[in-house]
Amino acid sequence: MQKGPLNKHVLIVSYDFLPCTAIGAAIRSSKFALYLPEFGWRTTVVTRSQSGPHNAATNDKVVRISAPKFPFSYQLTAWLWSIKAWFTLKNMIRENEFHLLYISCPPFPLGLVGTALAKQTSLPFVVDFRDPWALDPYRPKGRVKAMLKGLLCRWLWPYLEEKILATADCFLVTTESVRDAYQTRVPVCTRGPILIPNGFDESDFKTVDGSQAGISHRVHRPYLDMLYCGRFAEVGNRSPAWFFRSLRSLNDEGKPVRLRIIGDDSRKIKSLIRQTHTENIISALPMIDHQSAIENMRDCDVLLVYQEATNAKLSAVAGKTYEYLRSGKPILAVAPHGDNIELIERFGVYFFICTDHSHEAIMGALRTLHNRWQSQSLPEISFPKSDYVNLYNRRTLTKRLSEIFNDVLQARQEMMKGTRVQNG
């Protein structure tokens, strides 16, 4: 239900937006756009043209701009698309009345586009870093690539990042460790860093909750069914071959387990499956629509969270973790200590944590998990604690975003009023 007149208009710029193949990156902006009208903000979205599974994305207008095709260079594609988008955005702002500009990063060239537009138009500017830029802790495995990224993160990215943060009226981040890391890097003139985490959409779970309604629907399979949603290979330093070999070893012990990877049927992941001789154990499946992914979460025995080992202080929370927790299914989290593990430990009810990325440690966790499943002591559904639903619902998070928009707009109006009085 709409809670106020749509007398405020926000221009949202997000490289990924539903429907698209990069659902994980698109969900945050898409859900914000869906619920902002409930809190008095009309939305217009500018995003890139993509094909992808159908998803209901937004109440308002979406402008899609085609991207140049450089399949082997995400960065080059993003930079060129950002330049192309700048011309479209400049014309849109000139021809329409917008009250605020919201930019979602990465890719980070969009932050520079927002900076240029804010300076040229004096439009209030909110920038949202879903991941850190200059403080990105991940380095490619290749020596040359790692050296190049290290130099960029030491010299060029901090300079450009400083320009963005100095221009923005407000700076948003998604995890506590990133917020803490950026505390000393945000200029006094900019609000933030303000934490608005990712979350889950309660409406996505109405169908599966209604169909199960407290009744056990466990499918009796002859194996433990494990599910992973999203990209598995080529994320950060991720190389899960050792984990695949552990699954192979568990099956060789006579403890059958199968892993379904929904959303990554890439050449890289298929190559890893062949290398580890797990073709009959691991299924690499293409991306499906978001609602179907939620239904698949409820139809498995265990949900898998996987993050590569790292000693970095910054840690990401995989977007899927919030939906995993809401689904109520048991979780196996193979990840280093950090924000993701803390979230699971704080709100999860039935989970297994493995922070030691070794064959021996994961085999111990997998054996325990399989034994619980075999003895039928692995629960079907264990809903998270009640305060989790209140804290991480997408509608609640969008309300918080709308309040930030209101504060930014009011502060800008008061500043302009004060300037007119001084010049008067």
Q: Using the predicted structure, report yes or no on whether residue 237 has a pLDDT greater than 70.
A: no
Distances (CA, A) of 398 to 27, 41, 62, 360: 12, 11, 18, 43
**What backbone phi and psi angles, to 5 degrees, belong to 174?**
-115, -15
The answer to whether 130 and 182 have CB atoms below 8 angstroms apart is no
Q: What is the pTM of this model?
A: 0.89
Q: What does pLDDT average to over the chain?
A: 87
Region 176-205 average pLDDT: 94
Q: How many CB atoms neighbour CB 53 within 10 A? A: 18
Q: Which domains does the chain have, with CATH numbers?
A: 8-199+394-423 (3.40.50.2000), 202-374 (3.40.50.2000)
pLDDT digits (tens, 9 = 90+) for 297-328: 988 999 999 988 877 778 889 999 999 999 99
pLDDT digits (tens, 9 = 90+) for 126-167: 999 999 998 887 666 667 666 777 777 778 889 999 999 999
User: What SS3 state is found at 129?
Assistant: strand
Q: Using the predicted structure, report yes or no on whether residue 216 has a pLDDT greater than 50.
A: no
pLDDT digits (tens, 9 = 90+) for 22-62: 777 889 999 999 999 999 999 999 999 876 554 444 445 89
Burial class of 403 by CB neighbour count within 10 A (0 to 12, 13 to 18, 19+): exposed
Give the separation between CA 378 and CA 300, rounded to whole angstroms.
12
Region 82-100 average pLDDT: 94
What is the per-residue pLDDT for 421? 55
Give the separation between CA 170 and CA 193, rounded to whole angstroms.
8
